[in-house]
Structure 1
Amino acid sequence: MPSTSTRTGTRRPRTATLRVALATGAVLAVTVGCSAQVVTDPAGAADDKPGGGTGTGVRIEPTEPASSSPSAEPAAASKPPATPSAKPTKSASEKPAPPKPKTVLASGAEGDQVRELQARLRQIAHFNRAPTGYYGSVTATAVSSFQAKRGLPRTGTTDTVTWQKLLGMTKKPTAAELRPPAAVKPAPKPDPRCMTGRVLCISKNSRSLSWMIDGKVLSTMDVRFGSQYTPTREGTFKVGWKSRDHVSTLYDTPMPYAMFFSGGQAVHYSADFAARGYSGASHGCVNVRDKKKIAALFDAVRTGDKVVVYK
């Protein structure tokens, strides 16, 4: 039976009152219970479950609590602050290691710079002979002596530090210092056998070789001879054959610009003679220590030219 509201004096059906109550209760369930999502059905359709629905126009879809989601991230405030990894820093007092000195000249080198090195060492009494232009054991010993006196590593090799130190202590060598006149001996009066034709005229007394054509001296150079156990033969010979880059098969040593005149004896360049001077000897050959001169002589001499070796 319909009832009449005593408060407003208007009549409201009970059915309408029940629907409002149900809708209100559903909303309260959303706000008071577990987390849920409210989705409004615009068509006011019934729930899709069998047996019809409420007809309220509101569908309640439960959702999982946020805390149960595996992808949920903890609050930003709970993360510890990231600390950058500490990088090693160099102390202000540390200095980079100086670069290693570079080699300027070493044993086996030859040329004008070696001659300058020797002349400069000679100025300060570390090299006691005329410059030869060849960096041998004598030069290495002189360099080592210079390095020891100046507190440098005793390597015997001329590096950039050694060279700069030497330049600062010496002056540029003169032409006479580079090639002292005393190092070039005057040619003695030639043997009469040397006065005609093309001749390698070799004197043991003056330790010199003169290249002559028809009695005219074209060039002269210092030479040394064999020891008393392997003496250089004396007499008149001919150049039998020439070998520019010859290596001894007996002693396995280089014999550049070799001109053979008597068996295995030859006139040739000797690096040992250039390095040690007359403190050494050959095995019978005629050694020349000036490489430029012997190279020019090698090009000028022909097979069959005369060779005269005398005292």
Structure 2
Amino acid sequence: MSRTGRSTAALVLAVALAVLCGCTVRAPDAAGGKQRSPVHIRLPGGRASGPAPAPTAADVLWARGDSGTDVRELQARLRQIGWLFDGPTGTYDDLTEQAVKGFQRKRGLPRTGRTDTVTWRRLIGMTHTPGTWELYLMGGQPAAAPDPRCLTGRVLCISKTSRTLRWMVDGRTVSTMAVRFGSRYSPTREGVFHIYWKSRHHVSTLYDSPMPYAMFFSGGQAVHYSYDFAARGYAGGSHGCVNVRDEAAIAAVFAQVRNGDKVVVYG
């Protein structure tokens, strides 16, 4: 059979197959034998599928102004790969938005600063699930249940497990704040104590460091505001004192606590 005859036979066979399966096929281009347009598959009911639909924009999960545990995880993951240095705080602020923009730019994604589904999948693929320590690096973790010794009277109830301080009056929690403790070389003592001295503008004579709103409860150990804790979070530690990073919160407690009030430090 000649080349023309074989080509004609092939075309007839292709048309016959197309009729059987419900497809439409274009004749070969005279110049190069290539199809001029893609084959369109018929859907049930005889409706043509047509070209593939244009991709839709990724759904936005979180954006500036949002808050919650999901935002805290986002911030912890961004910290793992060096895009965020503050927090996690649980609030999608301007620093978080800038970090997301930087991550998106590096990966060739639209630089919106909003965390959409595509950005989130890429971030998850590059990081590990953050643990409690990473999620609450700068505080804000839920407070542990108060020790039974905290349920009567006026008490600074301090949990080493959750790293929180509750200011309690007659079993009611007035306020809660994040705290940090001494290192293993200078641990914060555990037990029941009482405030014996308050010093608003105290400076440590031993370490020459400021201890604003100091409330001493055991020797040289006190509850006080810490500039270092506010700046570095749990990356640092005290020399045995109970450090607070929220100045407004500790100022309010300092104004309410009296000499003789109880302090309970427990694991």
TM-score by length of 2: 0.52
Choose the corresponding residue for 1:274, options 225, 230, 241. Answer: 230
Counterpart amino acid of residue 84 in structure 2 = H
Correspondence for 1:28 = none
How many Å separate the matches in 2 of 1:126 and 1:231? Answer: 30
Cα distance in structure 2, aligned partners of 1:295 and 1:128: 23
Which residue in the other structure is 1:129 paired with? Answer: 87
Question: 2:265 — aligned with what?
Answer: 309
Q: Aligned partners of 2:86, 2:213: CA distance in 1, in Å? A: 29
Note the alpha carbon deviations across 1:229-265, whole angstroms, 9 max, x for none. Answer: 1010111000001000100000000000000000100
Distance 1:211 1:237 in 2: 14
Tell me which amino acid in the other structure corresponds to 1:125.
W
* Equivalent-residue separation in structure 2 for 1:126 and 1:200 (angstroms): 33
Distance in structure 1 (CA, Å) of the matches to 2:232 and 2:181: 14
Q: Provide the C-alpha distance between the structure 1 equivalents of 2:177 and 2:236, rounded to a whole number of angstroms.
A: 17
Amino acid at match of 2:251: A
| Aligned-partner Cα distance in 1 for 2:217–2:175 | 19
SS for the counterpart of 2:83 is coil
How far apart are the structure 2 equivalents of 1:303 and 1:128?
36
* Alpha-carbon offset, residue 126 of structure 1: 3.5
Tell me, in whole angstroms, the C-alpha distance in 2 between the residues paired with 1:262 and 1:278: 23
Shift of 1:208: 0.5
1:289 maps onto 2:242 in alignment? no
Alpha-carbon separation, structure 1, partners of 2:197 and 2:166: 19
Residue equivalent to 1:251: 207
State how 1:128-277 maps to structure 2 within 5 Å: 128-131=86-89, 183-277=139-233
Q: Cα RMSD over matched residues?
A: 3.2
Distance 2:199 2:88 in 1: 29
SS for the counterpart of 2:248 is helix
Task: Give the C-alpha shift of residue 304 in structure 1.
Answer: 0.6
Report the Cα distance in structure 1 between the residues aligned to 2:86 and 2:240, rounded to whole angstroms: 27
The code of the aligned residue for 2:88 comes to: A
Question: Which secondary structure state, in structure 2, belongs to the residue aligned with residue 250 of structure 1?
Answer: coil
**CA-CA distance at 1:185 after TM superposition:** 1.9
**Aligned-partner residue type, residue 244 of structure 1:** R
Aligned amino acid, residue 262 of structure 2 = K
What CA distance in whole angstroms lies between the structure 2 residues aligned with 1:217 and 1:274? Answer: 23
- 1:55-74 deviation digits (Å, cap 9, x = unpaired): xxxxxxxxxxxxxxxxxxxx
Provide the rounded CA distance (Å) in 1 between the counterparts of 2:86 and 2:246.
18
Contact 2:182–2:188, Cα closer than 8 Å, also in 1 = yes
What code does the residue aligned with 2:173 have? V
The residue number in structure 1 matching 2:127 is none
Amino acid at match of 2:83: A
Q: Which runs of 5+ in 2 are unaligned?
A: 1-74, 106-111, 115-134
CA distance in 2, matches of 1:226, 1:303: 23
Aligned equivalents of 1:131, 1:250: Cα separation in 2: 33
TM superposition shift of 1:291: 0.7
Q: Which amino acid aligns with 2:196?
A: G
Q: Distance in 2 between matches of 1:224 and 1:257?
A: 15
User: For 2:215, what is the secondary structure of its paired residue?
Assistant: strand
TM-score, reference length from structure 1: 0.45
SS at match of 1:275: helix
Question: Where do residues 30-45 of structure 1 align in structure 2 (5 Å cutoff)?
Answer: none
Distance 1:126 1:222 in 2: 21
